[in-house]
Structure 1
Amino acid sequence: MIVVPLLTFLAVACLCLPRDGGIRLALLRAAVIVGGAACLAVEALSAAHALHRPVVITCWVLALLITGGFAVRSSRRPVLDLRARWASLAAVERLMVAVLAGLFLLDLVVALIAPPNNFDSQTYHLPKIEHWVQQGDVSFYPTVIDRQLAMAPGAEFLLLHLRVLTGGDGAYNLIQLAAGVGAVLAASRIAGQLGGGTRAQLVTALIVGSTPMVVLQATSTQTDLVVALWVACVATFTLDGLHARSGAFDILLIGTAAGLTLLTKATGLLAAGLLLAVWTVAQLRLARWRGVPGAVAVGALMLLLAGPNLLRVQDTYDNPLGPAHLRESISMQRHDPAAVLINALRVAETALQTPVGPVNDAIAAGIIGLAGVLGVDPQSRDITYWNEEFPYLSWPPDEDRVSLPAQGVLVLLGALLLLFRKDTRLYAAVFWVAVLVYVVTVKWQPWGNRLIVFLLVLGAPLAGLWIAGLTGRRIATWATTGALAVGVAAGGFAVAYGWPRRLVGHGSVFTTSQLDQRFIREPGRQRDYEWAADAVRASGARRVGLVQGYNTWEYPWWILLPGTRIDSLQSLQPGLTPPGAAELDAVLCVKPPHDCEFYLLPTWTVHRRNDVAYALAPLS
């Protein structure tokens, strides 16, 4: 069934092909249209409590028949003369294409073989999909892990389609892989829109596609590449509207891409919002009052896509951004210049950290010393994620933290130098303002490097233009080529040895069982989870209650107990009452805030093994 969405996407791409034959633009348009339609379908089917396999399959088949029929009848066909294009490339450009293709092919192997095993996905990204499938809609449910509800669900809406169509999670990793490819296409197109030729566009693509965080995220069920793709789509579509009035189709694309950004991750709006403001001003300048309806339409599309979820969050937590403790754990509580400066320096140190320990230690010590001089506590909860401490070892190739020193430095230098060039200064200014807004609003956190992927994609075209324009400057050319080579090598190393999915070494996707890979982050949990699940399954329990901590892995229970109804016995949501033990056949407990007996009837007997416990309903 996964072929049906793929063919639908290709049919839409054919229908979106511009008259000049721009295949990149057609693919990006199709990504936004199909992504937006998929998210709207989730909300529509949810409203009818119809998120069930027969209905979803029917919707996709109808979509394929309609789009495929129009595509067959359309006179527009993509013309791919690959041989001629390859022959037109210089040797170094062919090398860049080969490297990019090799990295993404290796990522494809990992994505297809490895099961989802991202830490956050075990806790909240993937369990909420199982709850949606279980109840047939995306309405909120009782849970102690409120991130399952309060965090924006755009990427999970896309995963939900794969889950319902295929009946499992085997295709989950392909969403982020597709988003990574899309981000490369969008960034390279932006380079072309800013005046870059073939080499500038390929350098841009290589910078994005070889970044360790990108190649590692491209095989995961995180959401950072998905939001980076939507932000990049907003950027490339709005750039088209800076010098020509946007038509209805252009406005549809811009509004849908912006809506998907808001629905996927609010941090992406820090850049997308700036791009929309620049586009709106340009449209008003070009068409005066006639540009107002377009801006209003973009806002309406954003609300159409993200509004239903924002209303659910508002109704549950009295704030569209979620509960106070979750907001305050991420957003800056100090905004004075000294606090913002220290936050920015810590974000930069973590993002640009190298394997050279003494250098890292000296830089971190300098930042901490400066903080003392400025009267800022570098570990203060006002500017630091709760219970975390700066500095943090970020350079190892781990999908949650890996730094990007080579690509990051190239992007920052390119953005700085092109800020003074007439044809790129507006775009460079938007990039720098987005960076500033980020460090003003988002606290430093150890895993912050994955949150800034959208900024990397947004700034990569500036690096590509700068590097491609260095011809004739021998020292600068050699220096940037060396930095780019180091960055590419780091990307290749991340694919081969990255964690928690790697091609070679201990824990290789080729030599480690599927279940072992799911627990590879914390293998000590596996035997206890299996022990409890075996006992519950052997009892014939049909409805199981779950008692767990705030950061507990919930998703493995859905894998170990397929076909079992699982409900939380805890709730942090006012008005959402969990079931009682009397309604259940069994209860599973993992690091609960109270002893497991707190949630049970007196006649239930608890069986414990380390941090895991289970209890079965007494036989009547």
Structure 2
Amino acid sequence: MIFLIPLAIWLGTAVCFLAFYNGNPQAFRRSLLTAAIGIFFFIATSTELLSPANLVNTIAIKAAWTILNIALMLLFRLLSKREDVSMVHILKAWRSSGKAFFRETGGLTNAVMLSILGLTCIVAVVATPNNMDSMAYHLSRLGYWIQNENVDHYASHIERSISFSPFSEYVHLHSFLLSGSERAFQLLQWSCLVGILMYISLLVEMLSGSRAAMRMALCFGVTLPIVVLESMTTQNDIVVAFFIVACAFYAFDYVRQTKKLSLILIAAAAALGMMTKGTFAFFVLPFAAYIFFFMIAKPSQWKPLAFLIGGSVIVMLLLNGPFWYRTYQIYESPIGTANKGNKNDISNPANLLSSTAKHVFLHLGFVSPGDRYNRFMASSLERFHQVIGIPLNSPGTGMPFKMNKLNFNEDFAHNFFAMWLIIFSLPILFFIKLSKTARWYTALAFLSFLLFCFFIGYQIYGSRLHISFFLLIAPAIGIVYGSLKVRAVPVILSLLLWFFALPFAVLSTSHPLLSTNWFFEEVFPKINTAFNLNIHVGKGNLNLKQPSILFAEPEKIVWGDYTDQALRMRAYVDSIGAKNIGFNFLESSLDYAYQYVLRAPDRHFEHVLVRNPSRSLENKTFIPDCIIAEHFAGNQISYHGRRYEKKWSTTGTFIYVPVN
């Protein structure tokens, strides 16, 4: 039944085409993006509506999607008769606009986009999800929602799984209940990247109209290493970037055309963005201010402004209110543990300079003979901090700073060439001719990054939090380098970005398309020696050496070097016939990995002996057949008046069974 989702997207796109965009040269892209926001809105609202009645189950979700598709089909028939346009005509119009678009983008850009998107799509579909954050809290929550048939909070040792925004996981929840498989999970981020590239193309057409700018912007956006890696995972940074870029586009689109539909889409995208990740607010705030001041300055816009503000507040509360309320009940705060992140100390202006510099330098590290380049960059950053009068690692400015070299992990990869292109674009901006709208957009994109740095301190995994900025700035980068008189420059830059991005598409340390074992044993040692890189690949970083996901077993993809231990654990749990399993985990535990290997019909999981505020949600009637613990509490423990004895253990994992 998973086909119900693409069917709804197709019908929704056709409906939006007939209702809003017929005759527009950008009709297909605009229709598809509008339909996508509508489908996302449906997922969020239907989940929250079904949850109170404990109807988050396969039957109810299939029924909801069936009703949606029937409604869209009826609406399409009504509109097609009114407009006297058949589906065949629509498909021909889409094909024609697609051909025109790909003629504009050109052979090189098409090759860059299709190769990167094609490779990452293969990995996204074939590989079993195994991102560390996903196994800890993104995906782990799905198992409890499904067995409880609602999205209420539950007792959990991993507080992020009940306090971090849930929208991406709502999408995964629907796809799992429709298909019974994780196969579509990683397509969410990949699809959002495709949507962002569409928005980038629309923004360039709005801001410049230059063919060279379009090509450069798309190549810049699709080749960002952290974006390439994340597009194959079940994280949510590209998803939230989709809503951020959507809000930016519709804000400028409304200023240009003052169409009410843009305001509706802003309200919906803003509510969904907040439902995805808290960083949404920092990046979208400058664009919200832009449209606010445009509308407040014109009396004719006061009524639409009231509609935008009122509508946004209502939709925001309707979508996010239930989750915020559930979180408030546990933590006495609607954002739960999200406020425990790396907040920046804004009391000292120097801290703001420090934070911004470290966020920028996060992307500027690279490999070099003897690591001389990184040492030079690190000393430059130290000297900058001496000038502003605070230590490099001043309290309140985030984690201790560390220069990157080259990383193929979706949590730590950085955008070396992209950041240098951004830095070099700054002086060029003062010498090229930009439209007023393009200057405003560029300034707001930079301001969004500064605002993020203002509130959020440096983090070693901050690169993925910067995804929204890099994708927001892509149209400006395209315009800057596409405007240079030397036409070969954007072509050369696009090729360099492409060649640098390809290894990230096929050599991810989490799920490589090509064997990284082969790369690090056969290829890398020669490069390491020839360039005196002094990079040691040994027992301390065996995770760099992984088989291709095309030939690896799913359990191996999820558990890596601990697969044998996980399979032995499953064999023991099966041998004692355990149906009700209690988890006594660390906060950093890979909950989903345990669920994945232990899943079986009629098997039920609950967190027990919880040591955080969510312990109030523990099921007092739950009697585990065994307790799987990452906390060693001696040879015996007691739970709900029953004694359990340690009967099995391996590195870091202990199984307790009831004492008869």
Please give the TM-score of this superposition, normalised by the length of structure 2: 0.87
Name 2:69's counterpart in structure 1. 64
Name 1:526's counterpart in structure 2. 563
C-alpha spacing 1:392/1:94, structure 2 compared with 1 (3 Å)? same
Structure 1 position 44 matched with structure 2 position 83: no
Q: Secondary structure at the match of 2:587?
A: coil
Structure 1 position 457 matched with structure 2 position 471: yes
Structure 1 position 516 matched with structure 2 position 556: yes
1:222 to 211, 214, 235: 235
Name 2:534's counterpart in structure 1. none
The 8 Å contact of residues 343 and 457 in structure 2, kept in 1 or not, is answered as: yes
In 1: Cα distance, 2:418 partner to 2:564 partner: 41
Distance apart, 1:34 and its partner CA: 0.6
Structure 1 position 182 matched with structure 2 position 195: yes
The 8 Å contact of residues 200 and 468 in structure 1, kept in 2 or not, is answered as: yes
Q: Which amino acid aligns with 2:12?
A: V
In 2: Cα distance, 1:504 partner to 1:593 partner: 39
In 2: Cα distance, 1:362 partner to 1:161 partner: 50
Name 2:376's counterpart in structure 1. 362
Post-superposition Cα deviations, 1:60-103, rounded to whole Å, max 9, x if no partner, equal: 0111111123224424625134599369837x822211221121
Name 1:268's counterpart in structure 2. 280
Name 2:650's counterpart in structure 1. 609
The 8 Å contact of residues 314 and 322 in structure 1, kept in 2 or not, is answered as: yes
Q: Which amino acid aligns with 1:397?
A: F
Q: Which amino acid aligns with 1:328?
A: K
Post-superposition Cα deviations, 1:160-214, rounded to whole Å, max 9, x if no partner, equal: 1111111221211111110111111111111111122333223211211111111
Name 1:469's counterpart in structure 2. 483
Name 2:244's counterpart in structure 1. 231
Name 1:567's counterpart in structure 2. 606
Structure 1 position 5 matched with structure 2 position 24: no
C-alpha spacing 1:88/1:581, structure 2 compared with 1 (3 Å)? closer
The 8 Å contact of residues 130 and 558 in structure 1, kept in 2 or not, is answered as: yes
In structure 1, the gaps of 5 or more residues are none
Post-superposition Cα deviations, 1:490-528, rounded to whole Å, max 9, x if no partner, equal: 2111112122121112321112221111123xx2x3222
2:594 to 546, 557, 564: 557
Q: Secondary structure at the match of 1:80?
A: helix
Name 1:401's counterpart in structure 2. 412
C-alpha spacing 1:259/1:561, structure 2 compared with 1 (3 Å)? same
Name 1:338's counterpart in structure 2. 350
Name 1:486's counterpart in structure 2. 496
**What does 1:409-428 correspond to in 2, within 5 Å?**
409-414=420-425, 417-418=428-429, 421=434, 422-428=436-442
The 8 Å contact of residues 243 and 269 in structure 2, kept in 1 or not, is answered as: yes
Q: Secondary structure at the match of 2:357?
A: helix
Name 1:140's counterpart in structure 2. 153
Q: Which amino acid aligns with 2:625?
A: D
Please provide the CA RMSD for this pair: 2.3
In 1: Cα distance, 2:425 partner to 2:48 partner: 41
Q: Which 4+ runs in 1 deviate beyond 6 A?
A: none
C-alpha spacing 1:608/1:444, structure 2 compared with 1 (3 Å)? same
The 8 Å contact of residues 416 and 428 in structure 1, kept in 2 or not, is answered as: no
Name 1:539's counterpart in structure 2. 576
The 8 Å contact of residues 190 and 232 in structure 2, kept in 1 or not, is answered as: yes
Post-superposition Cα deviations, 1:348-392, rounded to whole Å, max 9, x if no partner, equal: 11123333332122112221343345443333452224xxx3214
Structure 1 position 160 matched with structure 2 position 165: no
In 2: Cα distance, 1:588 partner to 1:432 partner: 48
Distance apart, 1:598 and its partner CA: 4.4
Among all aligned residue pairs of Structure 1 and Structure 2, give the percentage whose two residues are the same amino acid. Answer: 20
Post-superposition Cα deviations, 1:383-427, rounded to whole Å, max 9, x if no partner, equal: 224xxx321435322211111122233344446644783332211
Post-superposition Cα deviations, 1:584-606, rounded to whole Å, max 9, x if no partner, equal: 1111012x275574455445234
Q: Which amino acid aligns with 2:605?
A: I
Name 2:520's counterpart in structure 1. none
In 2: Cα distance, 1:151 partner to 1:83 partner: 40
Bigger shift: residues 102-111 or 360-369: 360-369
Count of residues in correspondence between the two structures: 604
The 8 Å contact of residues 406 and 484 in structure 1, kept in 2 or not, is answered as: no
Structure 1 position 26 matched with structure 2 position 63: no
Name 1:347's counterpart in structure 2. 359
Name 2:536's counterpart in structure 1. none
In 2: Cα distance, 1:165 partner to 1:42 partner: 13
2:455 to 438, 441, 449: 441
1:259 to 271, 274, 280: 271
C-alpha spacing 1:162/1:43, structure 2 compared with 1 (3 Å)? same
Q: Secondary structure at the match of 2:655?
A: strand
Q: Secondary structure at the match of 2:94?
A: coil
The 8 Å contact of residues 413 and 463 in structure 1, kept in 2 or not, is answered as: no
Name 2:117's counterpart in structure 1. 104
Q: Which amino acid aligns with 2:656?
A: A
The 8 Å contact of residues 626 and 658 in structure 2, kept in 1 or not, is answered as: yes
C-alpha spacing 1:390/1:239, structure 2 compared with 1 (3 Å)? same
Name 2:628's counterpart in structure 1. 588
Post-superposition Cα deviations, 1:267-287, rounded to whole Å, max 9, x if no partner, equal: 122122221221122233342
In 2: Cα distance, 1:61 partner to 1:602 partner: 48
C-alpha spacing 1:533/1:285, structure 2 compared with 1 (3 Å)? same
The 8 Å contact of residues 401 and 446 in structure 1, kept in 2 or not, is answered as: yes
Q: Which amino acid aligns with 1:48?
A: A
Post-superposition Cα deviations, 1:242-296, rounded to whole Å, max 9, x if no partner, equal: 133331x332211010111101011122122221221122233342431322322
The 8 Å contact of residues 533 and 557 in structure 1, kept in 2 or not, is answered as: no
The 8 Å contact of residues 411 and 460 in structure 1, kept in 2 or not, is answered as: no
The 8 Å contact of residues 246 and 283 in structure 1, kept in 2 or not, is answered as: no
C-alpha spacing 1:603/1:57, structure 2 compared with 1 (3 Å)? closer
Q: Which amino acid aligns with 1:378?
A: L
In 2: Cα distance, 1:559 partner to 1:105 partner: 27
Q: Secondary structure at the match of 1:583?
A: coil
Q: Which amino acid aligns with 2:350?
A: A
The 8 Å contact of residues 117 and 518 in structure 1, kept in 2 or not, is answered as: yes
Q: Secondary structure at the match of 1:89?
A: helix
C-alpha spacing 1:599/1:207, structure 2 compared with 1 (3 Å)? farther
In 2: Cα distance, 1:34 partner to 1:86 partner: 27
Q: Secondary structure at the match of 2:555?
A: helix
In 1: Cα distance, 2:178 partner to 2:185 partner: 11
C-alpha spacing 1:57/1:228, structure 2 compared with 1 (3 Å)? same
Distance apart, 1:445 and its partner CA: 1.0
In 2: Cα distance, 1:364 partner to 1:26 partner: 47
Structure 1 position 390 matched with structure 2 position 430: no
In 2: Cα distance, 1:164 partner to 1:58 partner: 11
The 8 Å contact of residues 394 and 446 in structure 1, kept in 2 or not, is answered as: no
Structure 1 position 54 matched with structure 2 position 78: no
C-alpha spacing 1:572/1:543, structure 2 compared with 1 (3 Å)? same
Name 1:131's counterpart in structure 2. 144
Structure 1 position 279 matched with structure 2 position 278: no
The 8 Å contact of residues 232 and 454 in structure 1, kept in 2 or not, is answered as: yes
In structure 2, the gaps of 5 or more residues are 518-546
Q: Which amino acid aligns with 2:585?
A: Q
Structure 1 position 242 matched with structure 2 position 261: no
Q: Which amino acid aligns with 1:489?
A: F
Please give the TM-score of this superposition, normalised by the length of structure 1: 0.92
Structure 1 position 292 matched with structure 2 position 340: no
The 8 Å contact of residues 187 and 205 in structure 1, kept in 2 or not, is answered as: yes
C-alpha spacing 1:394/1:164, structure 2 compared with 1 (3 Å)? farther
